[in-house]
Amino acid sequence: MKKILLTITALLGAYAHSANAASIGPYIFDASQTASSITAASNVAATDGPSSLTDLSLTTYFEGAPSNGSVSLGFSNSLFNRTGDDLAFYFLRANGEPDSAAFGLNINGSIGTDNYAASLFTYIEDGISKKYQVAFDAGYADLFIATVDLGDFGITGNDFINSLTVSDLDSTDRLALVAGFNLTAEAPVVVPVPAAIWLFITGLGALGMISRRRV
């Protein structure tokens, strides 16, 4: 897959992403909570230019080139601190590569620890635990996830963020997506029956009763 080397220090501007919701297995999340722009990048390679982190696709990503890569992200909608984890960082890992990712994080000028570890993303479907795989080169890569609580950066429940910087990315840290951590199981679609159909069914029932009386 072709990669584009990016070393950007100036503002790049917003790269709008699709308005459609993104899905991972049986889960969906609000696209309005994903990173919407790249404001700076250094020592990173991207599969599809600056939009690799804003297009909602898990097949495009940023990685260190080869190490100490960093990328600053902007969010068009403010992310507030909620109970528990608030942000999810999605990484791709190919077979034989380390099964964890250590990266640095700077939010509102506060620098977090560099030991945020990504773990294998799994979900339950039909009672079976499954892992999510993404097409990668000639095979597949597993999806890993690291979650972060904004409270660790001094962000209170009444505060919000609009940007952050991910650092210390190496060539196996393929960052594919950053989003507000609000994954929910997709609810079944209930299609209401129009009133006209109920009237039609009621009418058929009445005709059936009349027919029985005539026999």
Q: What is the CA radius of gyration of the chain?
A: 23
Contacts 24+ apart (CB under 8 A), 193-196: none
Burial class (CB in 10 A: 0-12, 13-18, 19+), 162: middle
Residue 116 DSSP code: B
pLDDT of residue 185: 42
pLDDT of residue 139 exceeding 80: yes
Which residues are within 8 A (CB) of 32 and not within 5 positions of it... i.e. 6 or more apart?
A: 76, 77
pLDDT of residue 63 exceeding 80: yes
In the chain, pLDDT over 70 holds for what percent of residues?
A: 69
Residues 150-178 have pLDDT tens digits of 888 888 877 888 999 999 898 888 999 99
Residues 85-108 have pLDDT tens digits of 888 899 998 877 877 767 889 988
pLDDT of residue 189 exceeding 90: no
pLDDT of residue 59: 87
pLDDT-based confidence at 42, cuts 50/70/90?
very high
Kindly compute the dihedral angle of the four CA atoms of residues 165, 171, 176, 182, in this order, to the nearest 10 degrees.
-60
pLDDT of residue 207: 42
User: Is residue 165 within 8 Å of 154, Cβ to Cβ?
Assistant: no
pLDDT of residue 11: 33
User: Is residue 66 within 8 Å of 60, Cβ to Cβ?
Assistant: no
Q: If you average pLDDT over every residue of the chain, what do you get?
A: 74
Higher pLDDT, 50 or 23: 50
Q: Is 175 left (phi over 0), alpha (psi -120 to 50) or beta?
A: beta
CA distances to 29, 95, 123, 129, 187 from 126, in Å: 20, 26, 10, 8, 15
pLDDT of residue 41: 93
pLDDT of residue 116 exceeding 50: yes
pLDDT of residue 27: 64
Indicate the pTM of the whole model.
0.73
CA distances to 31, 78, 154 from 112, in Å: 25, 20, 10
